Amino acid sequence: MTLTLAGITVMPLISEAQLKVSGLLFGDYAFKTQADSVGSRRKVTSEYAQLPKNYSGFNIRRAYINFDYDVNDRVHVEAILAHESTTPTGAAEVAPDNNNIMFLKYANVRFKQVFKGTDLIMGQQRTPTFATSGGSEPLWEYRPIERTITDFNRLASSTDLGVGLEGKYLDGKLGYNVLYGNNQGAKALFSPTTTPFTSAANAPRLYMDVWYKFFNRLEVQVYYDYSCDNSNWDSTKTKFQTASSTIKPMIAWVQPGLFTVGVEYYVQTNTHAANDINGETGAQSLGAVVSNAKAGSNTATLANLRNTTPTGLSFWGHVILIKDNDTGKVSKRVGNMQDGQKGGILSLFARYDSYNPDATMTDALASNKTNRGKIQSLAGFYTFGLDWEPAKNIHIMPNVWYEGFTQKYDASQLSTVAGYQAQKNSSDMVYRLSLWYNF
């Protein structure tokens, strides 16, 4: 396309052939039929957690605009603007006047084939935790319904600013990802002189994974990450190093045109990360000596400090009930990982997650004031529903969203803590009608 101004032909800097614009949108009408009786006393970051029973309303949870530009056959540029919100919407997700906002989700330059089979990626990019081509999110496919388990429990973000390598070999059957990033998600890096790293949770992180497709059906991934904060350590042992590491295997079977099933498990170890009475794990100011001390407190000792070990297990799957008449159509779902799978006009999906916030917590520790908190509830998450595609790339999905909590210890272990009631068994249940569109 050319433009003529005052008789002068102006050539565009970017050609239509080189620039691709795409995007997605998904949201829901939600009606909450059950509400957690503990409410804000339970440390829960999942959707709908603080909404009362009988809440109903609409929300757009995601809206992305993607710009992809091929500079040449060896260099690719990507930028994605995103609106993301939870239900209820958090303060950081809207402008001061409560209007929805957009932010820079991804912005990176990919240098293809820096060596055989491997691309170099610089900038804001997908993390190997679940979002890259070998991860579980493209296989689960139903991100518009819910995050994968590591994302759901906030182990890592889907995006980070750093330098990464992505490799694919054996005609795409074998791959790996390595990323060294800020570990801040899409947020700007703060100044360490005014707000220092206070735990491994916000120190720089190394992510890596390797995956392989057997028989072009069975996909196996092993993921690992590591972050370490040395700013809370010194040789006198009045400060202590904090570190975090995660290992996650995932296995999935893809039967083109029929179904996909998968399972993933993770265990994360956080060293010197004992919880104080409020369940906090990070120092809040320069006055805090160790990673678990409250702001201005210098009283924690090595005896208080211990490892915490969150674990999670997830089973998920979907099956096509009615195939599309166009047998040559490839399913247009998040990630487009399932090359060759025929699209379905009606599918069934389901998932179950089990979460333990600290597998190393014991009754003895729970009875110790230093280690008590409001996070020791086992959680089970369920979702299931139907995916109806009445028109290309438009999905209408009635579904059930449920998270149940089980008290991990006897009430006597927790009920004596001032200001905290025993963690009762309870749950949040939401009926939703979800809409998902991509272009």
pLDDT value of residue 134: 86
pLDDT value of residue 411: 53
Q: How many helical (H) and strand (E) elements, i.e. helices and strands, does the chain have?
A: 4, 18
HSE (CB half, 13 Å, CA atoms) of 297? Answer: 14
pLDDT value of residue 98: 75
Q: Count of CB atoms within 10 A of residue 229's CB?
A: 24
Instruction: State both tokens at 221.
Output: 């991934």
Whether the per-residue pLDDT at 93 is higher than 90: the answer is no
pLDDT value of residue 364: 63
Please tell me the pTM assigned to this model: 0.83
Please give the span between the terminal C-alpha atoms of the chain, in angstroms, as a whole number. Answer: 22
The whole-angstrom separation of Cα 149 and Cα 352 is: 9
Reported as a pLDDT band with limits 50, 70 and 90, residue 335 is very low
The whole-angstrom separation of Cα 339 and Cα 320 is: 15
3-state SS string over 210-247?
EEEEECCCEEEEEEEEEEEECCCCCCCCCCCCEEEEEE
Whether the per-residue pLDDT at 314 is higher than 80: the answer is yes
Reported as a pLDDT band with limits 50, 70 and 90, residue 298 is very low
pLDDT value of residue 278: 38
Whether the per-residue pLDDT at 179 is higher than 90: the answer is yes
Mean pLDDT of the chain: 79
Q: 90 - beta bridge partners?
A: none
| Highest mean pLDDT of the ranges 154-158, 222-226, 231-235, 361-365 | 222-226
Backbone angles phi, psi at 100, to 5 degrees: -65, 145
Give tens-digit pLDDT for 372-418: 544 467 899 999 999 999 888 899 999 999 999 887 655 554 555 44
Share above pLDDT 90 across residues of the chain, in percent, rounded to a whole number:
47
Element (H, E) at 271: strand 259-271
What's the average model confidence in pLDDT over 80-88?
Answer: 90
Report the range of poorest mean pLDDT among 119-133, 198-212, 267-281, 411-425. 411-425
The whole-angstrom separation of Cα 415 and Cα 422 is: 5
